[in-house]
Amino acid sequence: MHIYKPTKEEISAAAGKTVRDVLAPNLKVLFCGINPGLYTAATGYNFARPGNRFWPTLHAAGFTPRQLKPHEQQELLTYGFGITNFVERATAAAAELSRAELVEGGKLLQEKVLQYKPQVVAFLSVTAYRTAFGMPKAVLGPQPETIGVTQLWVLPNPSGLNAHYPPAALAQVFRELRASC
């Protein structure tokens, strides 16, 4: 299968677009990104930018039996996992999002979680989690708070720009979540 690679023009034109959630009721883990990047929005697939480590990390941590490609994102549902974001609109960088957008996104996310009831929501950014939920001292790992019956867990952002977590370290913290499910 030929994988679609968007042009520079298509990537630029993706600002403000949205990407559909990969979501179903009663998932084991719902992974929550910050918001789609422009490359992701141009393709329509979550974590599609080459260099994003989400898909390799899911496999390395044992969430999937093989490394899925972004266009195979719906296959995640068969393993009991899904994807959503704090903010739906695509931007070139998460820094373009306002605090108010993240807080509003946190409220909308709470509604989604109460409706779909995943066992765990795994937030893929400690900074976005702190901002959206007013938890300035939150750290990586399981959180004492819940949303309804759903446990909350904070993981590092899998972006290739996150130099604090090389691939092996990133896979290890994802593995800790996997072991708890």
The one-letter code for the residue type at 140 is L
| Chain segment 24-82, per-residue pLDDT in tens | 999 999 999 999 999 999 999 999 998 899 999 999 999 999 999 999 999 999 999 99
Instruction: Write the pLDDT tens digit of every residue in 75-103.
Output: 999 999 999 999 999 999 999 999 999 99
pLDDT digits (tens, 9 = 90+) for 98-146: 999 999 999 999 999 999 999 999 999 999 999 999 999 999 999 999 9
User: What is the pTM (predicted TM-score) of this model?
Assistant: 0.96
Three-state SS sequence of 4-25: CCCCHHHHHCCCCCCCCCECCC
Q: Which amino acid is at 71?
A: H
Integer Cα distance of 48 and 41 in angstroms: 8
Which domains are assigned to the chain?
8-180 (3.40.470.10)
